[in-house]
Structures are given as C-alpha cells and as structure tokens.
Amino acid sequence: MKTGGKTWTKKCTVLCGLAIVISLWTACTRNSHKETLEIVGTGACEELLKKLADAYNQTNPGYKVIVPPSIGSGRGIKTVGSDEYILGRVARPLKEDEAELGLSYVVFASDPVVFATGNKVDVTSLTEQQLLDIFSGKITDWREVGGTNNPIRVLVREEGDSSRSVIESKIESFRDIKLSEQAKMAYHDYEMVELFEKYQTAIGYLTNSSVNSNIHPISIDGIAPTLENVSQGRYPLVCEYAFVYKESRLNDQAGKFLDFVFSEHGKRVLDSNGAMHITGQ
C-alpha cells in the first residue's frame, strides 16, 4: 500500500506540473496573440501594406502587425465578418450581402492599375486598340507596334481579380475580349511579378505599387499612369484600397495602426511606394 501511495503521489505531482506548464503556455500564447495584429484579404495591396507594417513595427516595439499571403477580398471580408480576424484589407467595394455584416469600410489609398512590359521591351506607349489586338492575339510581335522584333507573351489575371475588374469597368471593349490562347494566367500579384521576370518580352497588368525595376508601366493613348495624372482625373484606371472591420471589435492596437496609416509618416510610405494616400480617415 505504501508503494502504491508513493506512486500515486508521484503521478499527482507530474500531472500538477503538466497542468501548470499548460496553463503558463496558454497564458503566454494569449498574451502573444494580443501583441500581434494580422490584416487579411486581397493580394492587390499586400506588398504596400507590408511596407506600412514594417514602418509601424519599427516605431512601435512590443507590437507587431503581420500581412499574411492573400486570401482575396471576399474571404477577407467573410473572416472579419465572422469575427475570426479584427482587420481586413480589400481592393473593391462591399457587395450587398457583405454590407449586411455590419462592417466599417475605410479607404486608405488609391493605386493606378498599369499595363506594363518586361525588361526587353522598348515600347513605352500603346493605343487602346493596340492593347485590345495584343491581348486578343491579333498582334503577336513587338515590331508590329514599333518595337524590336520580339514575340509578345500576354500575361493576364483571373476573372474577378481587382486589377482586371478595374480595366473592364473603364475600358468597355475589354469586358468581352476573347483572350489569346497563348495568354499566361497569374492568380496572385506576386505571380504576375514573377512572370514578368521570367518572360522579359511580356505584357500584362498589375497595380503600380507592385511594380519593380524589371517591370515598366506604359502609357495608354499617350497618358502615363502617374499619380499626377490620376489626381487630375486624366488616367482612369485606379484601384482603391480599404480596411474593413467591426467597430465593436476594433482594439487599441488595430486603432493605433489605422491612426499610423493616416498619419504623415504613413502617407509618406504610401506615396513613396507608388500609391496615393487618402487625405483623411
């Protein structure tokens, strides 16, 4: 009996120890979660928000804002609406059924959607008709539009993508275009960037804030996709970025990050990365 009693005492001690460890781990995890803010949603402003998050994290030690890979505007809205996340990122207005979720919708930046070419293309401007002919496969070589003799590789996004939706809403003839059978589909902004690096005589479209030194935006009918032309209403292809959240669930950290985005520091980050800040919250 004594031996059994000792064994039971040891078991109790081990179990109590495990319970304490689990309790401490749970508490630490909860505290860590409070110090981290994930902003979920569209890939259109993913890189832009990562730069905002980096700037915020540098000036707010102890807090961390994370911008995870894209799950799309729709899923971002859904997960915030179901209270899975506090803050979402979107690149389109709320649909009628989404508006019923009780979400605030706050635009924080606008970003030109640009037609762009790879590194080996020497064409800097195309007409709307030339773009239609290229994306439909009628024009297949850059020499046909005044460039060097190189085959054109067409890069496109899937239906419902925010950049494609902006183009289709502003250039009516693109809505019913039959794309070239040789067109290469990208499902995320980062995939489009990778395809431009792989196919250096390609043409495609993406947001201006996603452009790097290997990608060259072109003018449409002589109008360049500059922020000045956007602000003056001369360049019509513009995507708006917004945050979605429930007022009742907006905690201190999320509120502080929103304040940062609309601060002078946040505005400078947006403007220096190809987007245009919104003047007020």
Confidence band of 28 (pLDDT split at 50, 70, 90)? very low
Confidence band of 281 (pLDDT split at 50, 70, 90)? low
Q: What is the pTM of this model?
A: 0.80
pLDDT tens string 41-79: 999 999 999 999 999 999 988 889 999 999 999 999 999
pLDDT tens string 166-202: 999 999 999 989 999 999 999 988 899 999 999 999 9
Confidence band of 35 (pLDDT split at 50, 70, 90)? confident
Mean pLDDT of the chain: 89
Confidence band of 29 (pLDDT split at 50, 70, 90)? very low
Residue 25 domain-assigned (yes or no): no
Residues 132, 222 within the same domain: yes
Residue 23 domain-assigned (yes or no): no
Q: What is the pLDDT of residue 139?
A: 98
HSE (side-chain half, CA atoms, 13 Å) at 194 = 8
Confidence band of 10 (pLDDT split at 50, 70, 90)? low
Residues 87-95: what's their mean pLDDT? 96
What CATH number should be reported for the domain holding residue 223?
3.40.190.10
How many structural domains comprise the chain? 2
Residues 120, 220 within the same domain: yes
Residue 22 domain-assigned (yes or no): no
Share of the chain above pLDDT 70, in %: 87
Residues 121, 54 within the same domain: no
pLDDT tens string 226-275: 989 998 999 999 999 999 999 999 999 999 999 999 999 999 999 999 99
pLDDT tens string 129-174: 999 999 999 999 999 999 999 999 999 999 989 999 999 999 999 9
What range defines the domain where residue 195 resides? 112-231
Residue 90 domain-assigned (yes or no): yes
HEC profile of the chain:
CHHHHHHHHHHHHHHHHHHHHHHHHHHHHHHHHHCEEEEEECCCCHHHHHHHHHHHHHHCCCCEEECCCCCHHHHHHHHHHCCCCCEEEECCCCCHHHHCCCCEEEEEEEEEEEEEECCCCCCCEECHHHHHHHHCCCCCEHHHHCCCCCECEEEEECCCCHHHHHHHHHCHHHCCCCCCCCCEEECCHHHHHHHHHHCCCEEEEEEHHHCCCCCEECEECCECCCHHHHHCCCCCCEEEEEEEECHHHCCHHHHHHHHHHCCHHHHHHHHHCCCEECCCC
Residues 217-228: what's their mean pLDDT? 95
Residue 21 domain-assigned (yes or no): no
Task: Please report the sign of the dihedral spanned by the C-alpha atoms of residue 109, residue 185, residue 205, residue 166.
Answer: negative
Residue 170 domain-assigned (yes or no): yes
CB atoms within 10 A of CB 7: 10
Residues 131, 200 within the same domain: yes
Q: What is the pLDDT of residue 4?
A: 53
Residues 204, 258 within the same domain: no
Residue 12 domain-assigned (yes or no): no
Residue 26 domain-assigned (yes or no): no
